[in-house]
Amino acid sequence: MSTAVHRRMLKEYMAIQKNSATRPHLELLEPVQEDDLLHWQAILLGTADSAYEGGKFHLDIVIPSSYPIQPPTIHFTTKICHPNVHFKTGEICLDILKSEWTPSWNLESVCVAISSLLTNPEPSSPLNCDAANLLRCGDMAGYNSLVKMYTALFAMPDEE
Amino acid sequence: MDFDITDPSDWPKEFGPLREIDSHLRCPICKEYLRAAMMLQCHHNFCSECIRRHLDKESTCPACRVSTSTSQLRRNVSLEEIANNFGDVRQLLLKTVRESLEPKSAPAQTLECAESMDIDDFTPQQKRRRISARVGKALLSAQRGRTHESDDNDHDDDFTMHSQESSSGRKYSTRSSTRPVLRSRGGRSETTPTEQVPNPQSASSSQTSSYSLSEEHTSASEQASPTPAKESTFKHTLVACPVCTMAIPEANTNSHLDKYCFSGKQDPIYNVALSVVETYSPQAIATYEKDGSSKSVSLPASPQRNTLRSAFSSSPVRFNGFAQQPSKLGAQSGAAPIPEPKRLPKLTYSVLNDKQLRKKLQELGLPTHGDKQLMQRRHAEYLTLYNANCDSTRPQTIAQLHKAMDNWERTYMRDLNAKDAQRRAQEEQQQKYAQELAQQKQQEDAASTDVTNLPSSQSSNSGTTGTGFVPNQANNNDVNVAIASQAAQAHKLKNADNYNDLIADIRRRQQREKDAKAKAALEANDAASAPIQPPPQEEL
């Protein structure tokens, strides 16, 4: 069992548990089941002062057996309105999860990158054209209210 | 999981630089200590195996994305050595560091830590430290046995001082708490300035012995002769001959050289290497100095050195002259230049056919079953392992590499099977879905025909949709379903060969494993049947 992936994932798990205090935007990052280190879940918190504020966004992370040479597969399981996230499948368009991946990254840094993607959308390579079009037209009020609505609809289950 | 997972965050916050050192000695890819460190053009370091694996897929540096290639990899031997040694000493260092941070009130715990250490590989100073811990523990328990008021006891104070000292960096200096043991063992040989044990014997011996032998030797000499007075007068002046490295008395050097070495003969009297003589007991050395090897053999050497000595004397090194010297000397000191192993060249798999690839694998002693993709992967994996092994200062044997390959093969097949199962499940689901869809459509069709058959009972609206659209749509859906099921069928047919290959492969593998198990069981039976009695006793 002690393949390179498992060793590395164990290390990451330990490091994550130790540094849990230093991650403000990451509520949770752990394997779905303790005995399967190749399937993780995470919960991102919407940054304060953004349209995503108050939302909890769940991520599903699948680690390939050739990790860290190949990137993990990550998608949102919570519906989220974002120009670079597919509204239906939750697929994320982020260069570091595809072509720009390097083995020096780890799950924690990837989650931080996704968290910063939420506040810094890239409308030039959209997966959600409607949101991207609003941004490209400069309709920040429309965009923000749309995002706020979807955040309230899908990412705040407790308040409903 | 039985393996030991380490991380830079193991170091306490107070020792930030240690954390930094730890993280810099790790490979950014596998997060382990660098194994066979390789440096890229951009001065980033990685394990040889990791970076080779990465460069197989992409030709950029994982840390800074500068484009690079395997040919630009350079060994970073000193970094590798640092990483190796840091890894070796890590556990001990971590314990020491943690001990130093623990509050004074928990001496028993620190004792346990020190006690549980595996000391076989450590230096005498560290051994001494462990001894001190043991003594301290014994003293503590003795105190507990008496009364608990003996806080002003010398030994107890010294011991807590000792743990304080380790925080200030003087980790291994010993204090009076260690004296009871050290005096009888290695006390005399302590010549380091930090250990100023007020011991008259140590002073005298360090002053009188003109030729200082190793510490172990002196302590061993004590065991051989319990009377220290005799020893302190002992003085010997053996030196290694610059030509044949044999131990000769300093005064005899010139005559020895003229008589034997320069004429290519062997000295019949002084013909034992100095490194070997140093392992003798003092008397033996004295006798050797006087009479040469002829008599010293009969004298007792220190017991723990016997094996070493016999190992040396069983293969006497003889020199006949200058011609053979350099190589022999090199071999003796273990510094012979080992020829750099040749790295295996990369293959262009696309221009090789199955047969050629199989031949290449056979040449490397690798299994040759499976399709081309599997063989290609296998070859690439072995190339990575082999070339990484060439870079290591602690290389593995070819057999170990093959074992690693077996392991890889097993995980690869498991992954493949898992993927296959997943794909099959998906297909099944698709088929199910297609069937459900078809059924639904059929029902709808039936409903719509009912509607068309009975136009009088329905409103005109539903009647128009029923006659206009539904049959057409139903036809379309039927076509879609048919196409989907055809495609699924075709996919199955296309991959049937692969499945069959795979299943045959797995069967073969299982059979082989079974055979091996049966063989092992037979052997175990044979072994067990010979000595029938001992095993149950051991178990008890």
d(CA B140, CA B411): 53
Please indicate whether, in this complex, the C-beta atoms of A68 and B29 are within 8 angstroms of each other. Answer: yes
d(CA B131, CA B137): 10
Please indicate whether, in this complex, the C-beta atoms of A69 and B57 are within 8 angstroms of each other. Answer: yes
Please indicate whether, in this complex, the C-beta atoms of B29 and A19 are within 8 angstroms of each other. Answer: no
B267-282: pLDDT as tens digits: 777 777 777 777 677 7
d(CA B279, CA B271): 15
Residues of B whose CB is below 8 A from A70: 57
Evaluate whether A53 touches A27 at the Cβ level (below 8 Å): no
Closest CB to A15 among B7, B30, B57:
B7
Report CA B436 to chain centroid distance, whole Å: 56
B428-459: pLDDT as tens digits: 988 998 999 899 888 888 877 655 555 444 44
Please indicate whether, in this complex, the C-beta atoms of A10 and B5 are within 8 angstroms of each other. Answer: yes
CA angle at B329 for the pair B323 and B330, rounded to the nearest 5°: 110
A107-123: pLDDT as tens digits: 888 998 998 898 888 88
**Which phi and psi angles does B26 have, rounded to 5°?**
-105, 150
- What is the three-class DSSP state of B33? strand
Model confidence band, residue B317 (pLDDT cutoffs 50, 70, 90): very low
d(CA B119, CA B116): 9
- What is the three-class DSSP state of B218? helix
Please indicate whether, in this complex, the C-beta atoms of B32 and A14 are within 8 angstroms of each other. Answer: no
Q: Is residue A93 annotated as part of the catalytic site, yes or no?
A: yes
Residue recorded with tokens 């001496």: B107
Helices (H) and strands (E) in chain A, counts: 4, 4
Please indicate whether, in this complex, the C-beta atoms of B54 and A69 are within 8 angstroms of each other. Answer: yes
Alpha helix stretches (DSSP H) within B102-214: 107-116, 124-146, 154-167, 179-184, 200-208
Model pLDDT, residue A72: 92
Model pLDDT, residue B308: 40
Report CA B87 to chain centroid distance, whole Å: 9
CB contact burial B418-446 (16+ within 10 A = b; e otherwise): eeeeeeeeeeeeeeeebeeebeebeeebe
A4-55: pLDDT as tens digits: 788 888 888 888 888 777 777 888 888 888 888 889 999 988 888 888 888 8
B230-287: pLDDT as tens digits: 444 455 677 777 777 777 887 787 887 788 777 777 777 777 777 777 767 777 777 7
Please indicate whether, in this complex, the C-beta atoms of A103 and B54 are within 8 angstroms of each other. Answer: yes
pLDDT for B333 beyond 80:
no
DSSP string of B227-278, one letter each residue = -HHHHHH----EEE-TTT-BEEEGGGHHHHHHHTGGGTPPPSSS-SBHHHHT
Q: What tokens does B297 get?
A: 């053999």
Question: Which domains does chain A show, CATH number per domain?
Answer: 4-159 (3.10.110.10)
Model pLDDT, residue B495: 60
Distance from CA of B403 to the nearest CA of A (A): 14
The letter for the amino acid at B223 is Q
d(CA B395, CA B452): 82
d(CA B123, CA A150): 66
Model pLDDT, residue A74: 92
- What is the three-class DSSP state of A33? strand
Q: Which of B26, B29, B57, B407 to mutate to test the interface with A (most CBs of A within 10 A)?
A: B29
Evaluate whether B255 touches B278 at the Cβ level (below 8 Å): no
> ipTM for the complex?
0.80
Partners of A85 in the β-ladder:
A82, A92
On whether any CB of chain B is under 8 Å from the CB of A20, the answer is no
B98-144: pLDDT as tens digits: 888 887 654 444 444 444 444 444 444 444 444 444 444 444 444 44
d(CA B224, CA B282): 8
On whether any CB of chain B is under 8 Å from the CB of A15, the answer is yes
Q: What tokens does B191 get?
A: 């010549």
C-beta pairs of A145-151 under 8 Å, 24+ apart in sequence: A145/A51, A146/A81, A147/A51, A147/A52, A147/A81, A147/A82, A148/A51, A149/A81, A150/A79, A150/A80, A150/A81, A151/A46, A151/A51, A151/A52, A151/A53, A151/A54, A151/A55, A151/A80, A151/A81
pLDDT for B39 beyond 80:
yes
Model confidence band, residue B528 (pLDDT cutoffs 50, 70, 90): low
The letter for the amino acid at A31 is P
d(CA B308, CA B166): 35
Query: Which chain A residue has the Cα nearest residue B415?
Result: A65
Residue recorded with tokens 């897929």: B57
Query: Which chain A residue has the Cα nearest residue B60?
Result: A102
Model confidence band, residue B481 (pLDDT cutoffs 50, 70, 90): low
Please indicate whether, in this complex, the C-beta atoms of B62 and A4 are within 8 angstroms of each other. Answer: no
Q: For residue B408, what are the contacts with CB-CB under 8 A and spacing of at least 6?
A: B378, B381
d(CA B387, CA B380): 11
On whether any CB of chain B is under 8 Å from the CB of A7, the answer is yes
Q: What tokens does B265 get?
A: 């003969």
Residues B346/B349/B350/B353 CA torsion (nearest 10 deg)? 140
Q: What tokens does B449 get?
A: 């025909």
Query: Which chain A residue has the Cα nearest residue B45?
Result: A104
Closest CB to B5 among A14, A65, A70:
A14
Residues in chain A: 160
Query: Which chain A residue has the Cα nearest residue B404?
Result: A3
Taking alpha carbons only, the member of A80, A83, A88 closest to residue A122 is A83
CA angle at A150 for the pair A108 and A46, rounded to the nearest 5°: 30
End-to-end CA distance of chain B: 27
Kindly state the percentage of chain B with pLDDT values over 70: 53
Distance from CA of A104 to the nearest CA of B (A): 5
Q: What tokens does B289 get?
A: 């100095």
Model pLDDT, residue B329: 41
The letter for the amino acid at B96 is T
Query: Which chain B residue has the Cα nearest residue A8?
Result: B30
Taking alpha carbons only, the member of B480, B509, B351 closest to residue B417 is B509
In angstroms, the Cα distances linking A145 to A51, A159, B222 are 7, 18, 88
Please indicate whether, in this complex, the C-beta atoms of A14 and B7 are within 8 angstroms of each other. Answer: yes
Taking alpha carbons only, the member of B99, B87, B71 closest to residue B26 is B87
Evaluate whether B165 touches B178 at the Cβ level (below 8 Å): no
On whether any CB of chain B is under 8 Å from the CB of A99, the answer is no
| Average pLDDT estimate for B349-378 | 86
Evaluate whether B158 touches B176 at the Cβ level (below 8 Å): yes
Residues of B whose CB is below 8 A from A6: 1
- What is the three-class DSSP state of A27? strand
ω before A68 within 30° of 0 (cis)?
Answer: yes
B489-517: pLDDT as tens digits: 666 666 666 666 767 777 888 888 888 88
Q: Which is the catalytic residue, given A81, A93, A129, A137? A: A93
CB contact burial B378-405 (16+ within 10 A = b; e otherwise): bbbbbbbbbbbbbbbeeeeeeeebbebb
CB contact burial B180-200 (16+ within 10 A = b; e otherwise): ebbeebbbbbbeeeebebebe
In angstroms, the Cα distances linking B343 to A65, A74, B360, B388, B398 are 27, 38, 15, 9, 13
d(CA A30, CA B121): 38
Q: Which of B5, B55, B56, B61 to mutate to test the interface with A (most CBs of A within 10 A)?
A: B5
Residues of A whose CB is below 8 A from B24: none
